[in-house]
């Protein structure tokens, strides 16, 4: 491996082209990748992680946005084993990774504005975020033991495996919401903390704190947004401006793809761990925040506002998020790309892309959501005091009436 004085480095090794997994020996290392989310105040989980939505009628726009974003998450993850040797696939991966998680996290923050740590909100936080984290952390560990032929791979609740990092991050962000709603200049403080995170090697070894800090500005930005901000994104002139923004970003990522260190887009490592000068960390934090924000705005500008055939799927994105990882990891653990080299060719990449989009769509459907409710939306009344359960029930009833 070699050092690049400007903080950018060509990724020559296969493992540098995809999100790393925790190596659980005596010391846990940095955890892995992606996806984002929110839910209704009636304990309805609508994205990767439960977000308490104010009691009101469901907005088709946000359900559409969450579904389209989860498709991008699944497709980008499916490209990971196919990137080596393909500049176009690597560029597309970089392009999508710049904004798919920021989009989810901004929406999660937006629907967390009403969180004040009331007992009923804490109950929903446990049932919609903590329980899914524990269940799927165990499930992904067991799957790795079997599919990757690693029977001794240890369980670890403080070292998120693969995409479970987002659930623990959402838990921390949500708990901190009252603080961010109280301080002056919350976004500036969040950006400063994210920049400091890039200067702190080893932080990601516990609860993936590196990602929690580096993605924090997007959550805080969502907390600060108002309905009129999203209305502004739907204006015709903004939609037209989004087209050259997307085109320019696509051209730039294709040009830069061979030379940019992919680890920057995972937000899971410090500058030193990416073999870059320390000062590149704060610069990349600010640069990727601006790029992620611009592309997220362009993406949201083109999200349909009306009800579509996939609007109902926006309520089940937590299932799509948590389940699609098993299929993606099968490509890696079972060595399917090595066994079938045609998958890494253009025709194969198209097949993998369509398969990933179809699979995550299926996982978001109401039947799958109902089947997984025991893990993603458990009632848990037995674990809380009666007054807390009754308060949650009244909130659920109010949300149900207003959503009709």
What are the tens digits of pLDDT across the range 345-364? Answer: 999 999 999 999 999 999 99
Report DSSP letters for 244-293, one per residue. Answer: HHHHHHHHHHHHHTTTS-THHHHT-S-TGGGT--TTHHHHHHHHHHHHHH
Is the residue at 164 inside a domain? yes
Is the residue at 2 inside a domain? no
310 CB neighbour count, 10 Å cutoff: 16
Task: Measure the CA–CA gap between 7 and 274, rounded to whole angstroms.
Answer: 8
Is the residue at 25 inside a domain? no
**Assigned token pair, 147:** 């599919």
State the residue for tokens 């920049």: 195
Checking if the pLDDT of 208 tops 60, the result is yes
Checking if the pLDDT of 400 tops 90, the result is no
pTM: 0.84
Checking if the pLDDT of 198 tops 60, the result is yes
Contact in structure between 64 and 304 (CB atoms under 8 Å): yes
Checking if the pLDDT of 26 tops 50, the result is no
Read off the pLDDT band of 4 (50, 70, 90). very low
Checking if the pLDDT of 231 tops 70, the result is yes
Is the residue at 241 inside a domain? yes
Read off the pLDDT band of 98 (50, 70, 90). very high
What mean pLDDT is reported for the chain? Answer: 85
Work out the percent of the chain whose per-residue pLDDT is above 90. Answer: 71
Residue 248: CB partners within 8 Å, gap ≥ 6? none
Checking if the pLDDT of 393 tops 90, the result is no
**In DSSP terms, which residues pair with 53 in a beta bridge?**
40
Is the residue at 11 inside a domain? no
DSSP-derived secondary structure letter, 208: T
- Domain boundaries, position 56: 34-402
Window from 57-66, 93-102, 143-152, 201-210 with minimum mean pLDDT: 201-210
Task: Measure the CA–CA gap between 120 and 167, rounded to whole angstroms.
Answer: 19
What mean pLDDT comes out for the span 294-307?
Answer: 96
Is the residue at 14 inside a domain? no
Higher local confidence (pLDDT), 156 or 400: 156
Please tell me the predicted confidence (pLDDT) of residue 237.
Answer: 95
Name the domain count of the chain: 1
Checking if the pLDDT of 206 tops 90, the result is no
Report DSSP letters for 33-97, one per residue. Answer: ------EETTS-B-BSB--EE-SSPPPHHHHHHHHHHHHHHHHHHHHGGG-TT-HHHHHHHHHHH
Checking if the pLDDT of 152 tops 70, the result is yes
Is the residue at 29 inside a domain? no
**Assigned token pair, 51:** 């977000």
Checking if the pLDDT of 55 tops 60, the result is no
- Judged on CB neighbours under 10 Å (0-12, 13-18, 19+), 251 is exposed
Is the residue at 64 inside a domain? yes
Checking if the pLDDT of 376 tops 80, the result is yes
Checking if the pLDDT of 82 tops 70, the result is yes
């Amino acid at each position: 491996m070699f050092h690049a004085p400007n903080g950018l480095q060509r990724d020559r090794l296969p493992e540098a082209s995809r999100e790393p997994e925790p190596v659980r020996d005596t010391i846990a290392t940095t955890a892995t990748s992606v996806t984002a989310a929110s839910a209704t105040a009636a304990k309805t989980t609508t994205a990767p992680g439960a977000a308490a939505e104010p009691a009101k009628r469901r907005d088709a726009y946000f359900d559409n946005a969450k579904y389209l974003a989860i498709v991008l998450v699944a497709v980008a993850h499916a490209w990971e084993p196919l990137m080596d040797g393909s500049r176009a696939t690597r560029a597309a991966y970089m392009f999508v990774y710049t904004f798919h998680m920021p989009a989810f996290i901004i929406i999660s923050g937006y629907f967390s504005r009403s969180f004040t740590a009331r007992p009923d909100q804490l109950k929903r936080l446990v049932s919609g975020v903590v329980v899914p984290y524990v269940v799927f952390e165990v499930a992904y560990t067991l799957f790795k033991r079997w599919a990757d032929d690693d029977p001794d791979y240890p369980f670890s609740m403080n070292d998120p495996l693969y995409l479970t990092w987002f659930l623990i991050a959402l838990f921390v962000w949500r708990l901190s919401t009252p603080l961010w709603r109280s301080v002056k200049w919350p976004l500036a403080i969040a950006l400063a903390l994210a920049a400091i995170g890039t200067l702190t090697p080893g932080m990601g070894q516990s609860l993936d704190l590196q990602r929690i800090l580096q993605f924090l500005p997007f959550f805080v930005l969502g907390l600060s947004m108002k309905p009129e901000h999203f209305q502004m994104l739907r204006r015709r002139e903004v939609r037209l401006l989004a087209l050259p923004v997307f085109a320019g970003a696509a051209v730039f990522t294709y040009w830069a793809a061979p030379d940019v260190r992919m680890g920057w887009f995972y937000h899971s490592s410090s500058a030193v761990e990416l073999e870059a000068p320390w000062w590149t960390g704060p610069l990349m934090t600010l640069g990727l925040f601006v790029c992620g924000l611009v592309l997220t705005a362009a993406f949201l500008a083109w999200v349909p506002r009306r009800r579509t055939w996939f609007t109902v799927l926006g309520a089940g994105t937590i299932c799509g998020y948590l389940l699609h990882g098993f299929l993606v990891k099968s490509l890696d653990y079972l060595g399917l790309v090595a066994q079938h080299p045609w998958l890494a060719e253009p025709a194969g990449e198209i097949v993998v892309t369509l398969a990933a989009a179809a699979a995550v769509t299926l996982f978001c459907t109401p039947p799958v959501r109902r089947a997984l409710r025991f893990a993603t939306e458990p009632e848990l009344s037995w674990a809380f005091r009666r007054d807390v359960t009754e308060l949650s029930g009244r909130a659920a009833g109010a949300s149900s009436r207003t959503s009709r």
